[in-house]
Amino acid sequence: MVSLSTLFRYIGSRLEYATAVSSKSYKQGQISDTQVLDTVWKNFFQGKLTYLHWNKGEEMAPTIGAQGGTLLVRKLPAPDPTRVFVGDVVVLKDPVNSDNYLVRRLAAIEGYEMVSTDEKDEPFVLEKDQCWVVADNENVKPKQEANDSRSFGPVSMSNIVGRVMYCLRTAVDHGPVNNSHFSTRKDSAILEFELDVDEMAKNHKA
């Protein structure tokens, strides 16, 4: 039985999502002033706050198995430092190939000073709207195999489309993804309402 507080937090998350989507449409000139409220309510009642994403590759092992994992992803229509946090596992548009999506861990956001272990690299500070993403797997070569910010540099926060909340590696090996403390709390009510392990297993490709 879901508690009232969880229900209210889920409703709050839906309202926050609906407002963010509507605000984005308004700023892009897709809707007028008079359509904003109607659009908020339409987005509030429409669809889920999550989607399933298949990821394969050893870059995020052991968080996601090298053989692949079905991920439950929370949609993030307006990613910024108040909605996504350092330590979160995120889905982002590949900055090298915009047709692809990468799953990486958010390691730093705007204002962070980046200092390389390679003395030839000059330290620098991430600018507004920039972030730094890295692979979890420490056994892959950073600049050759990890395919993260160590090879392609800073990424725009707007490239982030979602936060991974849950990973199904196999039908018997699945669980929540280790994200920041803030996101774990923000996402808990959504997990209560929208996690369906049977559906994830049914869509699993491995």
Q: What pLDDT tens digit does each residue of the chain (206 aa) get? A: 789 999 999 999 999 999 999 999 999 999 999 999 999 999 999 999 999 999 998 999 999 988 889 999 999 998 999 999 999 999 999 999 989 999 999 999 999 999 988 788 889 999 999 999 999 998 888 877 889 999 999 999 999 999 999 999 998 999 999 999 999 999 999 999 999 999 999 988 76
Rounded to the nearest 10°, the torsion over CA 118, 158, 71, 185 is 90
pTM for this prediction: 0.93
The amino acid that residue 123 corresponds to is P
Beta strands 124-125; 130-134: pairing state: unpaired
Assess contact for 70 and 52: CB atoms under 8 A. Answer: yes
Active site includes 58?
Answer: no
According to the model, what pLDDT value does residue 66 have? Answer: 83
According to the model, what pLDDT value does residue 178 have? Answer: 97
According to the model, what pLDDT value does residue 2 have? Answer: 84
Beta strands 160-170; 155-156: pairing state: unpaired
According to the model, what pLDDT value does residue 206 have? Answer: 62
Out of 9, 59, 74, 83, pick the active-site residue: 59
Q: What is the DSSP letter of 42?
A: H
The whole-angstrom distance between residue 179's C-alpha and the CA centroid of its chain comes to 10
Residues belonging to the chain: 206
Q: Where are the alpha helices (DSSP H) in 140-180?
A: 149-152
The amino acid that residue 129 corresponds to is D
- Both structure tokens of 77: 């229509």
124 membership: H or E segment, kind and range = strand 124-125
According to the model, what pLDDT value does residue 171 have? Answer: 87
Active site includes 169?
Answer: no
Out of 9, 14, 104, 169, pick the active-site residue: 104
How far is it, in rounded angstroms, from Cα 23 to Cα 30? 10
pLDDT digits (tens, 9 = 90+) for 21-36: 999 999 999 999 999 9
How far is it, in rounded angstroms, from Cα 179 to Cα 55? 17
